[in-house]
Amino acid sequence: MRKFGLIGYPLSHSFSKKFFTEKFRDEQIANCEYELYPIPEIGAFPGLLTDQDLCGINVTIPYKVQVLPFLDEMDEASTAIGAVNCISITRNSAGQWLKGYNTDAYGFEESLKPLLEPHHHKALVFGDGGAAKAVKYVLNKLNIAFLVVTRKPSESSILYADVDEKLLQEYTVLINTTPLGMSPNVDTYPEIPYACLTTQHIAYDLVYNPEEPIFLREVREKGGKTKNGLEMLHLQAIRSWEIWNS
């Protein structure tokens, strides 16, 4: 039996388990299973690795950075981002080798690119937590200049109060990396002057539950293009599967 799974805490619900369980069933992939591993602290991680059937791990909050000291190698994207969400486990007579990847970056890039037009060359990134790391890496890779927008002042960001009509005329790609709008807090959203938005804007929200948060609805109603984070999740999961089977 080949085992795969997700570490994080808590893990009350998981896109990954549903995705892979259905994939194994629908594609008749035998002798594979995907489990949840809600470990209360990262110190419990090595204990999972004693299972010789475990071939691959996905990583979610709060361990995308905390897991790094346990890895033997990291790919270019995860090294640059400083976080991993996918680990391959290779075993041989010499022992085991753990390599970290960031498939969030791949998923975000591949789902954003179809939306981009020549005038989409500057972005506002709402939030500067762990989820923003992969987003900023991809924007740099695509040569899209960006400003980070946060609630608290910092040297590397501007405040929501600084987002005005003039700024929005220039920055036409809007990316929400915060939990604002996520169920059950569906009445929250990044507080920007939505009346200033036009058909030139793109809004991308890493939130996918609900399907259309207020942030996306407001932009859509002004004629802008929108996308939630569900395709990104699908793409990063598919990329994880490719890594585990390469």
- 148 φ, ψ to 5°? -95, 135
Within 10 angstroms of residue 132's Cβ, the number of other Cβ atoms is 23
* Residue 173, phi then psi, degrees to nearest 5: -110, 120
Give the whole-angstrom CA distance, residue 225 versus residue 212. Answer: 12
What are 116's two structure tokens?
């981009």
Active site (catalytic) residues: 64
Are the CB atoms for 228 and 212 separated by under 8 Å?
yes
Instruction: Using alpha carbons only, give the angle 176, 178, 180 rounded to the nearest 5 degrees.
Output: 95
Strand partners, 88: 56, 99
Alpha helices, H only, 63-194: 76-81, 103-112, 130-141, 165-170
Structural contact between residues 125 and 160, judged by C-beta atoms closer than 8 angstroms: no
Helix extents (H) in the chain: 15-26, 45-48, 76-81, 103-112, 130-141, 165-170, 214-221, 230-244
Q: Which 8-state DSSP code applies to residue 45?
A: H
